[in-house]
Amino acid sequence: MQANQLHIKQVKPETSIHVRLSDSDTIKRFLATGNEAYFGSLYQKYAGKVYGKCLSLLKQEDVARDAMQDIFMRILLNLSTFEEKSTFSTWIYSITYNYCIDLIRRRKKDHFLHAEDIEKTQDIPDEELPDEHILEMDIKYLRLVLEKLSPDERMILLMKYQDDMSIREIGDVLNKTESAIKMKIKRAKHKAYEFYKEMTCVKY
């Protein structure tokens, strides 16, 4: 096992958590007792979701696995700072998103444009693109469409349409206002649909 990997011990029957606790109560009990069973339950609940998000951004399974381990180490080290201003899942999502975006930026020789720069260079139609245009995309093209988007654009669409996160929750993750998030979603939707039309010759 690599030195930087987070090691979660198997929970023995006598120390297992028999009562389903909320994330908040689980965190409080872990911080109060240091019992690894509590953190282990959080790991088991969210590890798959974190890995999936890492893979959707980083594209490589081994890189995504290493990222997931580093992210959970950060979660462990910063658990005492969780103030419940948002849900725990949103807090984890924020750590995951920011870790992956930082990693992508470090790995690129030429950093891709920040979201604010992208917004200044794109002309987006005034009309709102119906959600159905995104939700009804042929699944065999959807992955190709997402890969053409920047990581910022791809992730914000996944947060809205795959994870069903609210505008406020997405704003908490990206540390943006709700109006800014709405504009980001609008831009990403239009860009995704333009790619889709190019691939399928769809005309509306």
pLDDT digits (tens, 9 = 90+) for 106-128: 877 544 444 444 444 455 555 67
pLDDT at 109: 53
Whole-angstrom Cα distance, residue 54 to residue 96? Answer: 7
- The CATH number assigned to the domain with range 115-200 reads 1.10.10.10
CA torsion, ordered 55, 60, 63, 69, to nearest 10 deg: 30
Contacts of residue 180, defined as CB under 8 A and 6 or more positions apart, other chains included, come to: 171
State the chain's mean pLDDT as an integer: 81
pLDDT at 120: 45
pLDDT at 41: 94
- Extract the residue ranges of the chain whose pLDDT is less than 70: 1-19, 109-127, 133, 135-136, 138, 202-204
List where CATH 1.10.1740.10 sits in the chain: 13-107
pLDDT at 129: 74
Whole-angstrom Cα distance, residue 170 to residue 168? Answer: 5
Pick the CATH number of 13-107 from 1.10.260.40, 1.10.1740.10, 3.20.20.70, 2.40.50.140: 1.10.1740.10
In the structure encoding, which two tokens stand for residue 140, read together? 């065999």
Contact 148, 196 (CB under 8 A): no
Contact 42, 26 (CB under 8 A): yes
